[in-house]
Structure 1
């Protein structure tokens, strides 16, 4: 899976964009349009510490004060408005961005746990219909949990009373713009299902195909990495497999699937038939999360609830390989070991403990365990490129770059990259000089996700 085919034209384009982006400050722009699509202003956003500096210029509005908010979705299209339950202009932008899950409209200075993160100061419009605003807000950011990239800024018809739900009695949505990252190009692969929640991803270089699986229903899609065409590789529920988490492709072109709470590892043929379903020992709380092919011919599997690493040998026999309770790794409430990779020399496993933010090295020969580094809060899937480790940090909505020592026993966090806006990134795969990350939105399961679900391809940074 990790030996990949370079798609020259796309990769060069993404690489050039990545190089340009590295010399620019983290910033974004929104082009403001009226419901007819006419451009009537713009807004700029520049990261400043933990907050963002916002500048808005707009014309063609009635004189006076106008409510202004960041909305959940990056869509300036008609849609159902929460205040009226009718189709309204820019209703596709959804409700107010609410990272603190406050469910409450409030003052622009209220902490996000009390009020929407999208609550902004009002815009004052002069007699000439021109409005300008310049302010800094710490309720929003261009990166992290409060990230507003690929969301929308909306200007309303009336003043905001800063208290009435859902939008401060600010009336119709009159201007809207999608907040787009400056200086960085990515490519999105859209998925067709309304409940896909793509968690795992793997790349088959021989076919030029990406595989991704649903954490909600287990459906596995095949995506042509060049054209973006999507087809169903295997329907969810095949042989009782309801969940598809971590994925990997072996040298025979078989797809391996971690089955989450079902406690299984499934092996699928290159044409999508189930060859084998391997069951881990029965227990109240299994959670088979991720897996990796090793040069020794074995597949190593993490379980996020049970302190054990499983191994599947070439005969497709599954066994408990390492009892983690006898190592420095201590399981705690929540999601424990998750992402797993093997070093190029075949000597070590690197595993991510999500709830502690700790990265661990495990010697495949001696089973000795060593902590590599901490601080990778909400670290999920891993991708190892030589001695550079990329970490998808789901709730933090960034991909982190870690530089590792020659023996993989220590490392340093180099960069945290929000790309063009991420929604709970879970796992990574490599295509030549590009990477692909799933936007899993697992925090939206049981709620309202942003559709279409997508995977995002970007140049290595």
Structure 2
């Protein structure tokens, strides 16, 4: 795909199509190349460490974790997959304030009974924890770091959120919220993308198969529906929150939706729904120095072929 340098006034439309970036970010690549397997690779999660300006991308086909730097055009394989640390696949990735990298395993423990559901690594790639939920059929999808420093992880096969915490060097994972009485399970991927509310007192979670957002109170773990006034959010995958802005990456819908989110996370109003590149299925994203880093999953290809990329988008404002 060709890359064109456009003026700042054209940056939004250009970056949403994956074609260019504003002149203000001309020193940074607009696409980042990922390594992949000869037989085809697919990708999903992305984490970002603001302190080191490094990003981490998960490969679903093998479970490799790739790492890149904002000023470099190419990423490299950081953690091997294919059974390394019991990891054959990987989904969501996030990084905490200590630079520790959390990797959600998706169906890893389903496809390989007894294998871990989640891993934690330090910045040097040293394994700190490999954890099992103990919950049957758990599909760990996406993660966010809470104000307490713990990681909160969604289950796409049940309306549950797990909490991952470390105390005195001991790591634990437990079912923090079970909203089975509130959130009906539908066919397909249920709970996925997860972010904090602007006031940091709740979690906002996407249920992509039905296009809903849910609010989980961090004090009570109670789930309630976010009032979206009927906004179309079907195929909601990755969520990104900054202030009162909430960006929703809607994978197979090929749309980036922008909503205004109330401080408590109870109300969200659609501001725009901007088409993304029709030749890409984008999944998760992280905000890095004013740009969205978005994973091109290759989920629309039976056998994926290069280039494998993370693209950059200028996030629309409400």
Q: What's the TM-score once normalised by structure 1's chain length?
A: 0.59
SS state at 1:20 partner: helix
Pick closer, same or farther for the CA change 1:308–1:225 going to 2, 3 Å: same
**Structure 2 residue 175 is matched with structure 1 residue 330:** no
Identify the residue that residue 141 of structure 2 maps to in structure 1.
289
Pick closer, same or farther for the CA change 1:257–1:183 going to 2, 3 Å: closer
Distance 1:254 1:379 in 2: 27
Report the more deviating stretch, 185-194 or 435-444. Answer: 185-194
Aligned 8 A contact 2:35 2:77 in 1: no
The aligned runs of 1:248-287 (5 Å cut-off) are 248-263=94-109, 264-283=117-136, 285-287=137-139
Aligned 8 A contact 1:200 1:213 in 2: yes
Aligned 8 A contact 1:253 1:270 in 2: yes
Identify the residue that residue 229 of structure 1 maps to in structure 2.
74
The aligned runs of 1:343-358 (5 Å cut-off) are 343-358=197-212
Aligned 8 A contact 1:234 1:273 in 2: no
1:208-247, Cα deviation, whole Å (9 max, x unpaired)? 1111010111111111111223221100122111111100
In structure 1, the gaps of 5 or more residues are 1-12, 28-142, 144-148, 151-179
**Aligned-residue offset at 1:294:** 0.5
Identify the residue that residue 188 of structure 1 maps to in structure 2.
31
Aligned 8 A contact 2:198 2:265 in 1: no
Aligned 8 A contact 2:53 2:69 in 1: yes
Distance 1:369 1:448 in 2: 39
Q: What's the TM-score once normalised by structure 2's chain length?
A: 0.84
SS state at 1:216 partner: coil
**Aligned-residue offset at 1:193:** 1.1
**Aligned-residue offset at 1:426:** 0.7
Distance 1:422 1:265 in 2: 31
Pick closer, same or farther for the CA change 1:443–1:419 going to 2, 3 Å: closer
1:295-348, Cα deviation, whole Å (9 max, x unpaired)? 112211101012321111233211111111122x11112110000111243201
SS state at 1:286 partner: coil
Aligned 8 A contact 2:144 2:195 in 1: yes
Pick closer, same or farther for the CA change 1:189–1:347 going to 2, 3 Å: same
Distance 1:380 1:417 in 2: 15
Distance 2:108 2:311 in 1: 28
Answer with 1 or 2: which has the greater Rg.
1
Aligned 8 A contact 2:41 2:305 in 1: no
Identify the residue that residue 68 of structure 1 maps to in structure 2.
none
Distance 1:239 1:414 in 2: 43
Report the more deviating stretch, 449-458 or 212-221. Answer: 449-458
Pick closer, same or farther for the CA change 1:345–1:422 going to 2, 3 Å: farther
Distance 1:231 1:394 in 2: 25
Aligned 8 A contact 1:342 1:350 in 2: yes
Identify the residue that residue 389 of structure 1 maps to in structure 2.
246
Distance 2:235 2:76 in 1: 31
SS state at 2:180 partner: helix
Distance 1:217 1:457 in 2: 25
Aligned length: 291
**Aligned-residue offset at 1:421:** 4.7
Report the more deviating stretch, 415-424 or 300-309. Answer: 415-424
What is the aligned-residue RMSD (CA, Å)?
2.5
